[in-house]
Structure 1
């Protein structure tokens, strides 16, 4: 007999109940007739000589039943003691994962799946473009600004998470490169000829006073033979203008087989004028002819010239404003914090098999995980009132992102065209209960 069983027998003896023989047959439901059901005459005769059990004995039996149920629920199967069934929580340092760790792992997997779907949806892609790494490298234009961006992203990939966080806290001026691809202009003057290119939608980050450099990059169809290229760039005007288009610049390029087909033109003054008077931005016209009058400028995505359209490279500088940090917890994977917290997560697109993304190859996305108590106020005031009126109709507040920021991305679409765009809500900046 185990120690737990002897303890139960001792307690039963204390209650004044002698243990009877072990039941060999299961109890039947008809052994206890329901109230209001009349007994048969034969049953009355059989039970005529039986006495009702004393009240104190009945109460002791009920106490024993309740006591035994409580003991068995604690002891578990085979009469084991609580000390043998309960195990201390394991930690991540021992190579195992606790309940909080498993919850974070699940939140991390859900976040990665959400990022995949969010990127495809934001770029309006039903599926990821089927592009191998070698093919992507061959299609990337060898334009200097793109090569500089790629090398910059590679340097960022080699930095650690601590370096990334330290860079975020710096207060000195930082420089950002914004690349805007050309689109076809609309509603412009058609006095001389059909305009060749180019309208640029300027980012709201670009201001007249924070432009460090602005260059227009044009790809020329150069052959192996030496030739002179006459390039002219003019401002497009609204339809009701009949005056000649004002020229921005005219230049002559002596090209040969060693000349870089990518040529750049300074556009800083024109950009500042557009920013001060946005209504004057109707785009520009690009012309580039050789001595025989052959058009050499690539201004649209013709067959075999994908990724060679003109683009605008703008470098801006800004001093981050150090504001008071919003309330929210930041944790790491070794943290024992159980409340809602922001955890670091680096997304590597190569792990997705997404070679169609040129840059960045990876970025710091972060994710939220942790517990939320009902006492926390929800993000919306009426949410707390609804939960209070109907507590069973809601699962309570959840740990979710409350502040997010976008990322810039350079990628190939299904037509193998290079597109530079911004994807919103890709970085978790703050987590909270909502």
Structure 2
């Protein structure tokens, strides 16, 4: 999952330029969504969210070509995030970067109000449009594992790392935008004396502890973070690295 934040174009308040990561290749794009935050309307209304692509006709002038539109029934006094599929548009831009001149974003109500947040007004920080891109990771990496890796069919009784996928939607955590699910893994198994030679540090700590101990436990010995995109309590978009979310190795401590 990759996200791109907008660079607002001063010439048009409703137009945004986006900085795209060089890691994104057209053939590797699984999905691409443009997210737009809508300000609350005064009354119940129908909103027409329109995305137009800008094309230069001569120096300093542009023409607009509508590429996507979405009809939304909005409740009075409620703001919301809306998304539009732009996968094909993003792929075309990446194949021909010279054709990328930004997007014009409008969300007009039946009364002609433009409810789309396209620039950060006071109190609207973190509500600018952004693009969420999911890509296929084709890179192959090899790494040295310390400890055992098992699955649910394994007959291994020693301390081992098992696969576990956490699905945030099953928890009802709809405030998390991405990832919706991820592989967390967990540790399980016995740390018997016979197997302590696999974990000499734990063996030595167990013998040297003057207060005594019930013995080492199977626990994560190495963990890694994940990148997460989520809403805070103000409905602002937060993108951050959450530490210790994935179990990489297990051992007896």
Q: TM-score, normalised by structure 1?
A: 0.33
Partner of 1:217: 35
SS in 1 for 2:88: helix
Partner of 2:44: 226
Aligned equivalent of 2:3, options 152, 163, 179: 179
SS in 2 for 1:225: coil
Mapped partners of 1:182, 1:322: distance in 2: 32
The one of the two structures with greater contact order (alpha-carbon pairs below 8 A, sep at least 6) is: 2
Q: CA deviation at 1:243?
A: 5.9
Q: Do residues 284 (structure 1) and 108 (structure 2) align?
A: no
The C-alpha deviation readout for 1:208-265, integer Å capped at 9, x for no partner, is: 0111110001111123631011222111234627563111123322222497711100
Aligned equivalent of 2:137, options 291, 310, 318: 318
Written as runs of structure 1 = structure 2, the 5 A alignment for 1:210-359 is: 210-223=28-41, 225-238=43-56, 240=59, 242=61, 244-257=63-76, 261-322=80-141
Structure number with greater Rg is 1
Mapped partners of 1:266, 1:202: distance in 2: 16
C-alpha contact (below 8 Å) 1:183/1:197 kept by paired residues: no
Mapped partners of 2:49, 2:23: distance in 1: 30
SS in 1 for 2:15: coil
Mapped partners of 2:60, 2:240: distance in 1: 33
Q: Do residues 201 (structure 1) and 19 (structure 2) align?
A: yes
Q: CA deviation at 1:291?
A: 1.7
Q: CA deviation at 1:306?
A: 1.6
- Structure with the larger strand share: 2
Mapped partners of 1:410, 1:316: distance in 2: 15
C-alpha contact (below 8 Å) 1:218/1:262 kept by paired residues: yes
Mapped partners of 1:410, 1:263: distance in 2: 15
Taking a change above 3 Å as real, the CA distance of residues 264 and 410 of structure 1, as seen in their structure-2 partners, is: closer
C-alpha contact (below 8 Å) 1:182/1:198 kept by paired residues: yes
Partner of 1:52: none
Q: TM-score, normalised by structure 2?
A: 0.54
C-alpha contact (below 8 Å) 1:182/1:197 kept by paired residues: no
Mapped partners of 1:271, 1:284: distance in 2: 11
SS in 2 for 1:245: strand
Task: Say what the alpha-carbon RMSD is for the aligned residues.
Answer: 3.8
Structure 1 unaligned regions, length at least 5: 1-176, 333-358, 360-405, 412-416, 423-434
Mapped partners of 2:66, 2:60: distance in 1: 15
- Structure with the larger helix share: 1
Mapped partners of 1:282, 1:243: distance in 2: 9
Taking a change above 3 Å as real, the CA distance of residues 276 and 254 of structure 1, as seen in their structure-2 partners, is: same
Mapped partners of 2:81, 2:130: distance in 1: 11
Written as runs of structure 1 = structure 2, the 5 A alignment for 1:79-228 is: 177-185=1-9, 194-223=12-41, 225-228=43-46
